[in-house]
Amino acid sequence: MAKKDKELKRGAEFAAFLAELGKDHKMFNPEKGASLDFVLKLLEESLAAAAQKLIEDKPSVSVKINKTTGEITAYSYLTVVADDEMKSPYTQITVSEAREEYDKDAQVGDEVVLDDDLDVSKFGRIAMAHTKQMLSQKIKDREREMIKNEFSERVGELVSGNVRHIDKGNVIINLGKTDAILPKNQQIKGDRYVQNDIIKGVIHDVKESTKGAQVVLSRTSPEFLRCLFEVEIPEVFQKIVKIVRIERNPGYRAKVALESSDPKVDAVGACLGMRGSRIQAIVRELSNERIDVFVWSTDTITLTKRALASAKVSNVYPVGNKKVVIVVPDEELAKAIGKDGSNIKLTSRFLNKEVLIYGEDEFDDLPEEERAKILTSKGDEIVMTDSDVVDGGLGRDDIHESGDDNDNDDESVSAQLVKKGASRRR
């Protein structure tokens, strides 16, 4: 055994040792930060730590490895410190003592060499095993750090990977360099996942966990829909068509406002594609989520009519900066509200305003005092009149709805709204 230990100093034996490490621990993987240079540096540090534990009095140890020949050289030393800063007599020496016993020109911070030719064979196979453990842990720490740094810079980027397995409703997806998690609350309702399925998602967050950095994906965020537009629609990718705002009710409906930087390019038409082929590809990826695409406007009345999309609008009354009142034909009320209020709630979020919606007859029957209260913002004394409102229809070329109709008329909702004043707040 002693003879074999001494052979560690020879390149062939050291190369075999590195090969063993690489085989057992898969350390030599440049993609995970474990290049040969990195592993050699960690090996030097690990051998030094192992040697320090085995040498009497435990002085500091430095190990150098010749990458070409594989030869290991090692020496023990003490660090020179000021006379009043001695903390460890095993690894430090005062400047006075160093000058007296070793070097008359010694300065604070210098190294005093105790043995410049440590015999590596003295480290033994126990030290080699300890080195393996240290290397393995440091490689894992390095890999986690690299994953965290890389994916933190990629938040908002579209990625795809294979479903590895499902754990308590959370989908674990293999991205190649690491596994990502698609939490249950970031999944589109109704989606079903099977092992080895290829899943797309947007990098939503990178969190710290007990096992290192954890990449979190999302399929419900507006950014996921934005990325799909960039993939499927060249004009969006090229920035000719700009997505100004997105709001989603994942799995049910989304509203996307567009504008074109080129007057020759129709923003809505570019997103639809021939016979709706482009938008349908996105709809399928989103489990038939209905997508309303329309042209952005800075005018509140115009934007409100476009955002409501699914129903005709008779009148729009902007009230201050935080509220808008919408009046629609009675037969359009249920459609404008949507199933369980989904459409009007989404419209409210898109506009970032409180939205009240009424049928024409119900709104006309409101007492003048109540109508004035509805059409007055807090703190205002001026009541808006019909002359302040632009009414009428909106050109359907500015609006397009794609996807299955998830907003089926709901008579009970309509009746309830008429009975209670047909108001819906955010």
**pLDDT attached to residue 7:** 45
Total tally of structural domains belonging to the chain: 3
Q: Is the pLDDT of residue 1 over 50?
A: no
The token pair at 11 is 């390149």
Asked if 198 and 64 sit in the same domain, the reply is no
Mean local confidence (pLDDT), 144-150: 84
* Residue 27 Cα to chain centre, angstroms: 28
Other Cβ atoms within 10 Å of 355 Cβ, number = 23
At 94, the amino acid letter reads T
> Residue 107 and residue 98: Cα distance in Å, rounded?
9
Tallying the residues shown for the chain, one arrives at 426
Give the integer Cα–Cα distance in Å for 11 and 73: 12
Q: Is the pLDDT of residue 53 over 80?
A: no
The mean pLDDT value for 305-316 works out to: 88
**Does residue 306 sit within a domain?**
yes
What is the span of the domain harbouring residue 297? Answer: 222-420
Q: What is the CATH number of the domain that holds 339?
A: 3.30.300.20
pLDDT score at 403: 60
Query: Using an 8 Å Cβ cutoff, are 5 and 124 in contact?
Result: yes
Instruction: Report the C-alpha gap between 197 and 164 in whole angstroms.
Output: 9
10 located within any domain:
yes
pLDDT value of position 72: 79
The predicted structure's pLDDT at residue 30 = 52
Check residue 382 and give its pLDDT: 38
Task: Give the model's pLDDT for residue 149.
Answer: 86
Burial of 405 (0-12, 13-18, 19+ CB in 10 A): middle
- The confidence score (pLDDT) of residue 406 equals 47
Q: What is the CATH number of the domain that holds 185?
A: 2.40.50.140
Single-letter code of the amino acid located at 164: R
pLDDT (mean) for 228-236 = 95
pLDDT computed for residue 415 by the predictor: 36
CATH of the domain at 146: 3.30.1480.10
pLDDT tier at 124, thresholds 50, 70, 90:
low
Choice among 40-44, 158-162, 198-202, 408-412 with the minimum mean pLDDT: 408-412
> Are 214 and 226 part of one and the same domain?
no
Residue 423 pLDDT > 60: no
E strands, 168-313, where? 170-174, 179-182, 198-209, 212-218, 241-249, 253-260, 290-295
Q: State whether the Cα torsion 42-43-48-51 is positive or negative.
A: positive
pLDDT value of position 326: 94
Which DSSP letter does residue 365 get?
T
In the block, tokens 């903390």 appear at 87
The answer as to whether 425 is a domain residue is no
Nearest residue to 336 via CA among 362, 355, 320:
355
Stronger pLDDT, 244 or 117, i.e. the higher one: 244
β-pairing, 354-359 vs 158-167, is unpaired
Separation of alpha carbons 375 and 56, rounded Å = 88
Whether residue 129 is found in the same domain as residue 248:
no
Q: Where are the alpha helices (DSSP H) in 367-423?
A: 368-374, 411-420
186, 218, 250 - which closes a domain: 218
Express each pLDDT in 155-205 by its tens digit.
999 999 999 999 888 999 999 888 899 999 999 988 889 998 999 999 999
% of the chain at pLDDT higher than 70: 76
Which of residues 114 and 16 earns the better pLDDT score?
114
Residue in 221, 237, 389 with CA at minimum distance from that of residue 305: 389
Task: Between 171 and 131, name the one with better pLDDT.
Answer: 171
Mean pLDDT value of segment 350-378? 89
Mean pLDDT of 110-129: 73
Point out the least confidently predicted range of 58-62, 78-82, 229-233, 394-398.
394-398
Domain finish residue from 95, 123, 150? 150
Question: Of 286, 256, 323, whose CA–CA distance to 404 is shortest?
Answer: 286
- CA atoms within a 13 Å half-sphere pointing along the CA-CB vector of 318: 16
Identify the pLDDT of residue 131: 65
Would 128 be classed as within a structural domain? yes
